[in-house]
Chains A and B, each alone.
Chain A
Amino acid sequence: MGTQRPVIELTDIRKTYGMDGNAVHALRGVSLTVPTGDYVAIMGASGSGKSTLMNIIGCLDVPTTGRYLLDDVEVEHLSDRQLALVRNRKIGFVFQSFNLLPRTTALDNVELPLVYAGVGTTERRKRARAALELVGLSERMHHKPQELSGGQQQRVAVARALVTAPSLILADEPTGNLDSTSSSDVMALFDRLHRAGRTIVLITHEHDIAEHAERAIRLMDGQIVSDERNGERGWISEQHTVRHGSAR
């Protein structure tokens, strides 16, 4: 793995909210490298700092200190405008609550990042159709979000994340609002994308979702407490295995 070029390279990332007196340290020195093509699950209880980490990886927020290289671009000191550009070009977001624009067709939703990238209408349409085809929704591209099921909405969101061919797909609890059937549909989609060579970072607190990934990183109190590859000893969690009474 070490031979591959890293997509994400975090070095001693710290994030502090608030003033000196009652400062909250959300991240206390996180270092992490994600090579191209990796499939990583970031796990942790609420308050562990995983949302903060996801915001920083997603360039929605900047770290207080530390160094962040995204695709060889140093992003920790970028301006708002430059961060918007990086988000547009390098990151495809998938959110827990889908976050599609209401009253807007699936096709228009998928086109949206391309609009901000300045892609022309014809090219945009072509690429958005291809992305929707990839997630198996070419039949429903003219439907609006309220006319689609949760699973379908999330697949539209995945298509939207894919359409700009980003360096990184960042999914924040992508199955959190889905039933088990839709969940496995969406996770099958991520698995397929991984096999196609995409770099995927999943934020989740569900073990069975994290099991899809190649690598699991556990956060606690703003620090990485474990970083394990699929198949290694202790993969995912002992407690999980015990609780469910069955080994993988």
Chain B
Amino acid sequence: MRFREVFRFAFAGLRANKLRSALTTLGILIGVGAVILLVAVGKGSGAQVQANIDKLGTNLLEVSRQAGGFGARASRNTGTQSSVSALTLADAQSLVDPVNAPDVLDEAPVVTASPTATYDGATHQIAQLVGTYPAYLTATNWQIAEGSAITDDDVNQARKVIVIGQTVATDLFGTADPVGQQVMINSVPYTVEGTLQAKGSSGLQDADDFAIAPLTTVQDSLSGFGSLSQIVVQAKSAGATTAAQNEITSILTSRHHLSATASPDFRVLNQQSLLATSSSTTHTFTVLLGAVAAISLLVGGIGITNIMLVTVTERTREIGIRKALGAPRAAILGQFLVEAVMLSLIGGALGVAAGLIGTRFTVAGVKPVIVPASIALAFAVSALIGLFFGSFPANRAAKLHPIQALRHE
């Protein structure tokens, strides 16, 4: 008795009931396809979040003001004064300190405004105009598309120059080249020095509705010389962000005379830790999706058991004939087991195909990213499902007594 014959009998058995075989296969097809597709969607959404964070700059730390808690107020003991101390230029400069902050590469103080820009009759309200130092561009991963960036000279001399984002450029200048042109920012003329490369929208915000000007210029004409809105800090590497965060916290805590237990009046936002949080979130998401898909695969497997049990009952007489003619138990077991495994493997192969086709489409706004391991796993699991869920009915067939089986009507 050769394996080829077992295979031939199994195939004939499947062909005898094409519709039933096809429907059983469908259960596995859906299961395997769902595993591949849903894991790819989970992976894709993770990659999307990662890409968004990469755009913001992975070495980036943002220090911003925050209303201090009760501890902060008590420790400062200033009574009627506002509990929120300003972030000052001196604060920003104190962060570049090779001794106390060895992990900080550079800093850029930030003031923001949302002025109206006008050029040749076209008007555009810039969602965010940032007044800062040149270091800001590298820290936040902005690239210059045309022209040049702002320079230290521009900052020192408070030159009225501006670098604009793509949305601002398109709204004001259309297809014309904005570099070297004069725009009115809240009625003050600025020269456009350059344009920024597009970052695209992240979520609801348009990242390109944006402009950068020297800190001093913006303070002069727009925001005044009060507190900074933010200090942007670039760590030496993506791995050094946590250390840099701790250094910044300790420097600012001592500068603002806060006790160790008081809640601080500033907040350090670490993009790297944001990334870690979000990637663990998407990981959970992927596992959940995979689990849902795995359940459907399990249901498909139970479908195989069910159908094989029906098949064995229906073909009891055939089993009896085969046994009377000298088929050993192993041959019967093999025949029905191969039938079950063929069902699940055909379902698995079609499921892989369906999954691969499915991942070519955008699913719920996410571009799925195929995980090769999920394909291998889903396919292997489908084969195992055939073996596992087929073994019970196949064993039942093999154990049938030939006399009883022959009497079966």
Residues of A bordering B, CB below 8 Å: 55, 58, 60-61, 80-81, 84-89, 93, 95, 99-104, 112-113, 115-118, 160
Given contacts A60-B402, A60-B403, A84 and B5 within 8 Å (CB-CB): no
A84 and B403 contacting across the interface, CB-CB below 8 Å: no
Residues of B bordering A, CB below 8 Å: 1-2, 5, 12, 16, 317-318, 320-331, 402-403, 406
CB closest chain-A residue, reference B405: A60
A88 and B406 contacting across the interface, CB-CB below 8 Å: no
B5 and A115 contacting across the interface, CB-CB below 8 Å: yes
B403 and A113 contacting across the interface, CB-CB below 8 Å: no
* 21 contacts across the A-B interface (CB closer than 8 A): A60-B406, A81-B328, A84-B323, A84-B326, A84-B329, A86-B326, A87-B323, A89-B326, A93-B325, A95-B406, A99-B321, A99-B406, A101-B318, A103-B12, A104-B12, A112-B325, A115-B1, A116-B331, A118-B1, A118-B2, A160-B325
Which of A58, A61, A84, A95 sits near B327, CB closer than 8 Å? Answer: A84
Distance (whole angstroms) from the CB of B343 to the closest CB of chain A: 18
Given contacts A84-B323, A99-B321, A103-B16, A116 and B328 within 8 Å (CB-CB): yes
The interface centre, meaning the residue of A85, A116, A117 with most chain B CB atoms within 10 A of its CB, is A116
B331 cross-chain contacts in A, Cβ below 8 A: 116
Distance (whole angstroms) from the CB of A89 to the closest CB of chain B: 7
Which of B12, B318, B326, B406 sits near A87, CB closer than 8 Å? Answer: B326
- With A103-B12, A115-B1 given, name 18 new contacts (CB 8 A): A60-B324, A60-B406, A80-B328, A84-B323, A85-B326, A86-B326, A87-B324, A88-B325, A93-B324, A93-B325, A99-B324, A101-B318, A101-B321, A112-B322, A115-B5, A116-B328, A118-B1, A160-B325
The interface centre, meaning the residue of B5, B16, B321 with most chain A CB atoms within 10 A of its CB, is B321
A58 cross-chain contacts in B, Cβ below 8 A: 324
CB closest chain-A residue, reference B399: A80
Complex Cα–Cα for A15 and B318 (A):
27
Complex Cα–Cα for A119 and B402 (A):
23
A116 cross-chain contacts in B, Cβ below 8 A: 1, 322, 325-328, 331
Complex Cα–Cα for A61 and B322 (A):
15
CB closest chain-B residue, reference A54: B403
Given contacts A95-B406, A118-B2, A85 and B321 within 8 Å (CB-CB): no
